[in-house]
Amino acid sequence: MNSIADTSMVNAYIPGKTQLSGGDSELIARRDRLLGPAYRLMYETPIHVVRGEGVWLYDNTGRAYLDVYNNVTSIGHCHPHVVEAVSRQLATLSTNTRYLHETILNYAEKLLATFPQELGHVMFTCTGSEANDLALRIAKTYTGGTGIIVTETAYHGITDCVSQFSPSLGPSVNLGQHVRTVPAPNLYRSDGADVGETFAVNVRSAIKDMLRHGIQPAVLIVDTLFTSDGVLSDPPGFLAGAVEAIREAGGIFIADEVQPGFARTGSHMWGFQRHGLTPDIVTLGKPMGNGHPIAGVVVKPEVVEEFGRRARYFNTFGGNTVSCTAGLAVLEVIEKEGLKDNAREVGSYLHSSLEGLSKRHPSIGNVRGAGLFLGVEMVRNSGTREPDREITARVVNGMREKGVLISACGIDHNVLKVRPPLIFSRANADTFLNAMDKVLSEV
């Protein structure tokens, strides 16, 4: 069996395109034999990682790579506070939510304290996909509807239910007949139009189309930094009209905070707060346990009340003592190390420095984002703003060769995704910027 080439990923490994060491070739063949054809590897030359520490990943030869992509370990690889807390709990007790224990309650109290008071309950899962699946079940019970509105390149998870409203998975993964897609609110390509107003108009059109086909709207769900759509952050507040539209139609708003949440934006703990509104449901995942699998649904009590009456909720591992200990340790680190402030300060420095690079490298069409989550849009021509997928792929792989890891996103696959751990320093930023400057000069 040969590894599958994935031309939809600009940073994908394509078998036969690059020369690999004998050991790595054997490892890839072993993966194919044991794991099957659905898995993908990143970068034209895959990396064999064996260790992580802070902002660094190390390969099997000992080479260090600056991780400017991974928001799962958002407070740094193998953070000692999380490692110690999880190890201690694992040696003490690991059990589920059908027994009384204080760990889940201590974590729930500390987590809910970071949200507006209207969001009063939290339910735990293992993954963001599970969280979005559960959130939709709750929404359907509360609204009586089934219709879902998402953006054109949205990603919300991989379960059968959630993949039906994750168009970024590609044309071979069918969207549900109850799903409508709308263009993402892209200020760079708005031609001066009000992006919030345009987004609201598009959501209202989707609602109208649903109703025409006998589908009752249930949900507008967005990643509040529109990550897969190309990291679309500005201007803050543009979500208000669209949220008003879905609520007028009897639906609710779900903020997917799997990628924008946990102090990532620098200005707020949660991405939706930049827009000055309170969602009906918030879903959490990836960075919640800094690598330990934990996710969740934060919800208004009135929204989950009927669901709770009708159905028992149980998840064998969701909310277990070890996962909740990991989650609690992450919140403690964010608070004690001032990581929200760090995301704002270093993110601002990184943003302005990338704009400086754009003056020397016209292939950078736009720099955007919030805190330590930036999108750098690559174009063929700054006047026409024609997307340049080819140079995006060359930059991603060129950075990898210089020991810096980033990725790409966007409907045209031409936006560099810059998303380092929250502990990223100015010195780390300079390492990244120097590598970017060199790669752009070379390509």
- Element at 206 (helix H, strand E): helix 195-212
Q: Is residue 439 part of a domain?
A: yes
Please state the pTM of the whole predicted model.
0.94
Domain match, 304 and 369 both:
no
Domain match, 279 and 346 both:
no
Domain match, 393 and 346 both:
yes
Domain match, 381 and 354 both:
yes
- Kind of pairing between the strands at 49-53 and 56-59: antiparallel
Residue 425's CATH number:
3.90.1150.10
In 134-247, DSSP assigns E strands to 147-151, 179-182, 217-223
pLDDT of residue 341: 98
Domain match, 367 and 395 both:
yes
pLDDT of residue 7: 52
Whole-Å CA distances, 224 to 61, 213, 239: 39, 28, 9
Asked if residue 439 lies in contact with residue 92, where contact means CB atoms within 8 angstroms, the answer is: no
Burial 72-100 (b: 16+ CB within 10 A, else e): bbbbbbebebbeebbeebeeeeeeebeee
Q: What range does the domain containing 88 cover?
A: 80-336
Domain match, 247 and 383 both:
no
Domain match, 329 and 422 both:
no
pLDDT of residue 2: 47
**Residue that terminates a domain, selected from 336, 368, 390:** 336
Q: Is residue 287 part of a domain?
A: yes
Asked if residue 123 lies in contact with residue 313, where contact means CB atoms within 8 angstroms, the answer is: yes
Which residues of the chain register pLDDT less than 70?
1-9
Q: Is residue 317 part of a domain?
A: yes
pLDDT of residue 8: 64
Q: Is residue 38 part of a domain?
A: no
Domain match, 382 and 436 both:
yes
pLDDT of residue 15: 81
CA-to-CA distance for 414 and 297, rounded, in angstroms?
32
Q: Is residue 375 part of a domain?
A: yes
Q: Alpha helix (H) ranges present in 292-367?
A: 301-310, 321-336, 339-360
Q: Is residue 22 part of a domain?
A: no
pLDDT of residue 19: 76
Domain match, 303 and 239 both:
yes
Q: Is residue 184 part of a domain?
A: yes
In 192-275, DSSP assigns E strands to 217-223, 252-256
**Residue that terminates a domain, selected from 336, 352, 377:** 336
Domain match, 277 and 229 both:
yes
Spatial neighbors of 151 by CB under 8 A, at least 6 apart, are: 167, 181, 182, 183, 184, 222, 226, 228, 229
Domain match, 391 and 331 both:
no
Q: Is residue 256 part of a domain?
A: yes
Residue 138's CATH number:
3.40.640.10
Asked if residue 357 lies in contact with residue 366, where contact means CB atoms within 8 angstroms, the answer is: no
| Closest alpha carbon to 179 in 201, 156, 195 | 156
Number of domains in the chain: 2
The gap between the terminal CA atoms of the chain, to the nearest Å, is 34
Output Rg (C-alpha) for the chain, integer angstroms.
22
**Residue that terminates a domain, selected from 287, 304, 336:** 336
